[in-house]
Amino acid sequence: MSDQLPKKSASIDRRTALRGALTGAAILAAGAGVGGPAAADPPRHRTPGLRTGGKDVAIFGGGMAGLSAAHELSERGFRVTVYEPAHLGGKARSMGVPGTGSGGRADLPGEHGFRFFPGCYQNVPDTMRRIPFPGNPHGVLDNLIRVEGTVAGFRDRPPIFAPVELGAIDQLTPELLGNSIIGAFGFVPELPPHELAFFAKQMVMWFTSSTERRFGQWEYLTWEQIMRADGKSPAYRAYLVNALTRITVAAKPHLSSARTIGTIGEALVLAGSGVVPEFSGGVDRILNRPTNAAWIDPWVAYLRSRGVQFVTGSGASRLSYSGGRIDSVTVSDGQGGTNTVVADYYVCAMPVEKTVPLLDDRILAADPRLAGMRELITDWMVGIQYYLRRPTDIPEGHIAALGSPWALTALRQAPMWVGDFPAQYGDGSVQECFSVDISDWDTPGIVHQRPAKQCSAQEIAAEVWAQLKLWLNTNTGWLRDEDIHSWHLDPGVTWSGGTTHNATPLLVNTVGSYDNRPEARCAIPNLFFGGDHVRSHIDLATMESANESGRSAANAIIDAADDPAPYAPVFPLVALPAFDAAKKLDADRYRAGLPHILDV
């Protein structure tokens, strides 16, 4: 994919102001950004077209979106079948490393990447609470544990352990917000104080921007542009603009929509402030055991108990459109075999790169807006685990190698999981599972001087370990070569014909990409969409956005069936009343074609 996009001016013309005002009005009408424990049920929306009266639903994709839609529909009496070509749980699953267990122990635990549950998530925790788990009064939700701090590593400098909370705050005002951000990032080395103050001021500008400006202006600027990175110090660009963006959402600040990055940044700040009751889980939570054991397997078992049928090894390969509706779907088993699926309603809950090939000319003619999905871009964020014979002395919590070429983040999993790790996994000699996410696959490394996409699996493992040592070992000696027992790279990464392939890329929210993202419902009355590419409140390639899209697809099907069942709740992000007056002022300025009052 190209890293070059045309840059837009930060100035606002009348056409942009009108577009933003109309977009913002539509978003506000839909309830985006409204506080409260759950969004109120919107007015019933009758999907146009002939209704069958049936309640059979075929869901294609057994990842977060598909399982979420199946959950909500099965609890409301719909008959659901989920078709998944690979693995239930999708990118959220964990997996055993084949052949590594002995003496009655399970295989060493591997995964696509470690799980991170910010306190601003509300949809996912609501689902987890409704999944039974032995001994847990709140189901799977009780398998989440709070993380109190993070280790920030810098090249050739001693790492710093920093709390992830902003501290006790009674009320977050624009002034207190700016001061809190300055205090939170004061540890960044070689960062000029006036640039840190500027960063805080830009964040306050985001918090006080109206919905109209967010969708009409910030959506069409990159995060790098809104943070005015040009001309700033290397520390400002490397840490505050680049590193914070890359490690949080695997996004490139010179490509990503400022609105998208600002949305998650605001939610994380509010979660860390403690002033939002709905975000009471804190900034950072993780699971207390491998993801499948803690969540996915109990979830599938619960859905089976609700009557959900699972057909694994089969994925949608063709949508048959006739008479204004989808009349069947062809599924393939990957071995040349096919079958025809007929249902009342169909949900494409597959990743965007798997969905686009199904949208033929007849379907796009029925709903031309779906063509926008062809313009969406994906990128890579993939995990590798190192199994160590000795526990490291790194403090428990997430680890960020700030400014590392491959934008590495890590987590010590063994000490935060229940049970005796060496007694449960592997050959009994592994004391530590050190899980690392690689968020930048396009920047040359420090060992082989090549990006990860041009390295072999062995070279990736060596490069990641070398970067971690350079960023974490100054004055610590935390990571030692002799402690490595083995490592495991996500099996979705493969090599053929001299090219590296990734079966599980992530959506990247580039500037203006919101315009190309679909809603859960479309003009075809029995076709619906789920996935992290579907429009959502948090608007990122996350478990939360995928879960929300599954809920939205379920609600659209409830409408299409004229079913009296209550909607699945869709939880909006929370906006604090303390910023309302500033946002109203900004809305007036935006409609008048004026910049934000702090945009100087």
Q: E strands, 31-100, where?
A: 56-60, 79-84, 94-96
The two structure tokens encoding residue 410: 């890590």
- Report the alpha-carbon distance of residue 133 to residue 138 in Å, rounded: 8
Angle between helices 193-207 and 258-273 (to 10 degrees): 100
Name the 3-class secondary structure at 358.
helix
Name the 3-class secondary structure at 160.
strand
Inter-CA distances, 224 with 11, 13, 199, 411, Å: 16, 21, 11, 28
* 94: amino acid identity, one letter: S
Evaluated on CA atoms 548, 552, 555, 557, the torsion sign reads negative
- Report the alpha-carbon distance of residue 249 to residue 464 in Å, rounded: 19
- Report the alpha-carbon distance of residue 252 to residue 564 in Å, rounded: 44
* Long-range CB pairs of 453-456, under 8 A, 24+ apart, other chains included: 453/380, 453/500, 454/500, 455/500, 456/495
- Report the alpha-carbon distance of residue 236 to residue 243 in Å, rounded: 10
Give pLDDT, residue 546.
Answer: 97
| Residues 359, 371 contacting (CB under 8 angstroms) | yes
| Helices (H), ranges, 485-579 | 543-560
Give pLDDT, residue 18.
Answer: 36
* Cβ contacts of 29 within 8 Å, gap of 6 or more: none
* Cβ contacts of 501 within 8 Å, gap of 6 or more: 493, 494, 495
The two structure tokens encoding residue 542: 């996350």
Place of tokens 């070569």: 481
- Judge residue 542's burial from the number of C-beta atoms within 10 Å of its C-beta, 0-12 exposed, 13-18 middle, 19 or more buried: buried
Where on the phi/psi map is residue 579: left (φ > 0), alpha (ψ -120 to 50), or beta?
alpha
- Judge residue 327's burial from the number of C-beta atoms within 10 Å of its C-beta, 0-12 exposed, 13-18 middle, 19 or more buried: middle
Give pLDDT, residue 74.
Answer: 98
pLDDT lower than 50: segments of the chain: 1-40, 48-50
Alpha-carbon 389 to chain mean position: 32
* Cβ contacts of 224 within 8 Å, gap of 6 or more: 241, 253, 254
| Helices (H), ranges, 510-542 | none
Number of Cβ within a 10 Å radius of residue 583: 19
Name the 3-class secondary structure at 270.
helix
Number of Cβ within a 10 Å radius of residue 577: 8
- Report the alpha-carbon distance of residue 413 to residue 102 in Å, rounded: 20
Give pLDDT, residue 167.
Answer: 58
* Cβ contacts of 399 within 8 Å, gap of 6 or more: 150, 151, 153, 409, 410, 411, 412, 472
- Report the alpha-carbon distance of residue 517 to residue 538 in Å, rounded: 13
Would you list the DSSP string of 415-477? GGSSS-HHHHBTTS---EEEEEEE--SSS--SSSSS-GGGS-HHHHHHHHHHHHHHHH-TTT-
In degrees and rounded to multiples of 5, residue 44 shows phi and psi of -60, 130
* Cβ contacts of 446 within 8 Å, gap of 6 or more: 405, 463, 466, 467, 470
Give pLDDT, residue 14.
Answer: 36
Strands 408-412 and 432-438: antiparallel
* Cβ contacts of 578 within 8 Å, gap of 6 or more: 171, 172, 173, 174
- Report the alpha-carbon distance of residue 312 to residue 86 in Å, rounded: 7
- Report the alpha-carbon distance of residue 72 to residue 319 in Å, rounded: 24
Q: Considering the entire predicted model, what is its pTM? A: 0.91
Give pLDDT, residue 520.
Answer: 98
